[in-house]
């Protein structure tokens, strides 16, 4: 085991006990509602984290990049959903994955994509499952559940010999909610939109057996999944300040943090300067729209206990400025040069993306393992 003082800073810390608790909580909730969890691995990009959540069975997972699909396929994961509308320049890589015997699903939402994918699949000797993306909340991509183009896209696929396997949706607007009741309502709309779209497809003679929904907020608070075959979620494994700000988790549930060192002070300004700037924390300011703005992260002591009202208020590339939330220079606690601090992130995915590994903390707050993560597309 390694003491925190033996690590270079900044370093990305992961508390194993919190990871395990977070994973069990959501997995049990989804199982109790009679469907399955498809873990979105974009948050962790780490095989060991995925095994904590899913065990050694090898799936099912969702990915945001084909590199994620390729890496996880190398580690035995056979049921993979590429959960972003696929671009034509990615067809060759996707088909190559399917030719390795994976159950690969891809997503699209236009007649143009349906036509070009069907053409690419002709003669490929590979079965690729195709889901049509549904826009359940006006947040991003997809077709409305009652859009006439839904059946046109399905018909275009069928003409090209590629059946529609089902639908998927992501209620991203749940991240903007201010109450659990509001999240629950969006979760119901997400479910209803996906089920309605799948029913329309089936009534028109398309298979559409897959009904895939999900986000961490909606997965946490949904209370009825009738008609849904799977729920996707990812950030729940770590959680972050955005999730805490909308009531999806408590601050104490956040499993990752950035270890930083105090390098200096500007005492007249009430600043403590650390070696964790935006390259270590990311520029994500997701809490800025929430009632409590957490700056670039909440500051904790080396044991992970939040220091009251201490945040990273400003960042440059390699410098993080720690201040009291009020900005009052007299309220900055004594933080000697060399002090170790831990910063809780606004957005777990964006912060983790800055690192090539997790330093995994076990009992007593010591580093018990190093788990590699990867990046790129």
CATH number of the domain within which 77 lies: 3.20.20.10
Residues ≥6 apart with Cβ < 8 Å to 258: 10, 11, 12, 13, 276, 280, 281, 297, 342, 343, 345, 351
Residue 173 domain-assigned (yes or no): yes
Asked if residue 294 is part of any domain, the answer here is yes
Residue 1 confidence (pLDDT): 53
Indicate if the pLDDT at residue 373 is higher than 60: yes
Please write the tens of the pLDDT for every residue from 70-89: 999 999 999 999 999 999 99
Q: Which of 235, 264, 296 is the last residue of a domain?
A: 235
Please state the pTM of the whole predicted model.
0.95
What range defines the domain where residue 347 resides?
4-11+255-372
**Residues 311/302, Cβ–Cβ less than 8 Å:** no
Closest by CA to 352, choosing from 41, 27, 2, is 41
Q: Are residues 65 and 158 in the same domain?
A: yes
Tell me what pLDDT residue 74 has.
Answer: 94
- Of the residues 177, 201, 235, the one at which a domain ends: 235
Burial 289-310 (b: 16+ CB within 10 A, else e): ebeebbbbbbbbeeebebbeeb
Q: Do 217 and 336 fall into the same domain?
A: no
My answer on whether 137 and 204 are in the same domain is yes
Are residues 172 and 91 part of one domain? yes
Q: Has residue 377 been placed in a domain?
A: no
Q: Is the pLDDT of residue 276 over 80?
A: yes
What pLDDT digit, counting tens, does each position of 329-359 carry? 999 999 999 999 999 999 999 999 999 999 9
Residue 243 placed within a domain: no
Residue whose C-alpha is closest to residue 276's, from 326, 333, 330, 344: 344
Helix axes of 111-121 and 149-159: crossing angle, nearest 10 degrees: 20
Q: What does the pLDDT read at residue 170?
A: 94
What's the pLDDT score for residue 59? Answer: 78
pLDDT exceeds 80 at position 307: yes
- Average predicted confidence (pLDDT) for the chain: 95
Domain identity same for 264 and 297: yes
Tell me the pLDDT tens digit for each residue of 227-267.
999 999 999 999 999 999 999 999 999 999 999 999 999 99
| Number of domains into which the chain is organized | 2
pLDDT at 180: 92
Domain boundary among 203, 235, 267: 235
CATH code, domain carrying 286 = 2.40.37.20
Quick check: is 249 in a domain?
A: no
For residues 213 and 359, membership in a common domain is answered with: no
Q: What is the pLDDT of residues 126-167, one digit of tens each?
A: 889 999 999 988 777 899 999 999 999 999 999 988 889 999
Question: Maximum CA pair distance of the chain?
Answer: 72
pLDDT attached to residue 221: 96
Q: Note whether 334 and 262 are same-domain residues.
A: yes
Does residue 127 sit in the same domain as residue 276?
no
What is the pLDDT at residue 194? 97
Phi, psi of 259, rounded to the nearest 5 degrees: -80, 125
Same domain, 181 and 59: yes
190 and 94 in one domain?
yes
72 and 144 part of one domain: yes
Q: What percent of the chain has pLDDT over 90?
A: 90
- DSSP state for residue 143 in the 8-state scheme: B
Q: What is the pLDDT of residues 207-229, one digit of tens each?
A: 999 999 999 999 999 999 999 99
């Amino acid at each position: 085991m390694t003491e925190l003082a033996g690590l270079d800073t900044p370093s990305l810390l992961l508390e194993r006990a919190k990871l395990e608790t977070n994973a069990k909580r959501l997995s049990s909730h989804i199982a109790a509602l009679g469907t399955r969890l498809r873990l979105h691995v974009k948050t962790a990009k780490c095989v060991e984290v995925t095994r904590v959540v899913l065990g050694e069975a090898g799936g099912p997972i969702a990915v945001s990049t084909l590199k994620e699909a390729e890496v996880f396929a190398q580690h035995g994961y056979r049921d993979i959903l590429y959960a972003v509308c696929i671009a034509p320049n990615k067809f060759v890589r996707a088909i190559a994955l399917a030719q390795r015997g994976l159950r690969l699903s891809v997503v699209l939402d236009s007649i143009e994509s349906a036509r070009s994918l069907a053409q690419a699949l002709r003669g490929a000797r590979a079965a690729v499952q195709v889901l049509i993306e549904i826009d359940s909340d006006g947040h991003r991509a997809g077709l409305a559940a009652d859009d006439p183009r839904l059946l046109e896209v399905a018909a275009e696929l069928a003409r090209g010999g590629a059946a529609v396997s089902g639908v998927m949706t992501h209620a991203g607007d749940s991240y903007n909610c201010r109450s659990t009741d509001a999240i629950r309502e969006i979760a119901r709309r997400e479910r209803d939109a996906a089920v309605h779209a799948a029913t329309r497809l089936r009534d028109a003679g398309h298979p559409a057996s897959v009904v895939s929904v999900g986000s961490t907020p909606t997965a946490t608070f949904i209370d009825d999944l009738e008609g849904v075959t799977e729920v996707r979620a990812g950030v729940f494994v770590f959680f972050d300040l955005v999730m805490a700000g909308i009531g999806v988790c408590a601050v104490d549930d956040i499993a990752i943090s950035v270890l930083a060192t105090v390098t200096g002070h500007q005492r007249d300004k009430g600043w403590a300067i650390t070696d964790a700037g935006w390259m270590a924390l990311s520029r994500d300011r997701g809490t800025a729209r929430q009632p409590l703005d957490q700056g670039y992260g909440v500051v904790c002591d080396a044991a992970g206990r939040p220091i009251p009202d201490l945040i990273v208020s400003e960042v440059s590339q390699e410098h993080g400025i720690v201040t009291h939330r009020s900005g009052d220079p007299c309220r900055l606690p004594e933080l000697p040069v060399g002090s170790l601090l831990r910063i809780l992130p606004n957005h777990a995915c964006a912060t983790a993306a800055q690192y090539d590994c997790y330093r995994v903390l076990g009992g007593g707050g010591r580093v018990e393992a190093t788990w590699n993560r990867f990046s790129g597309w």
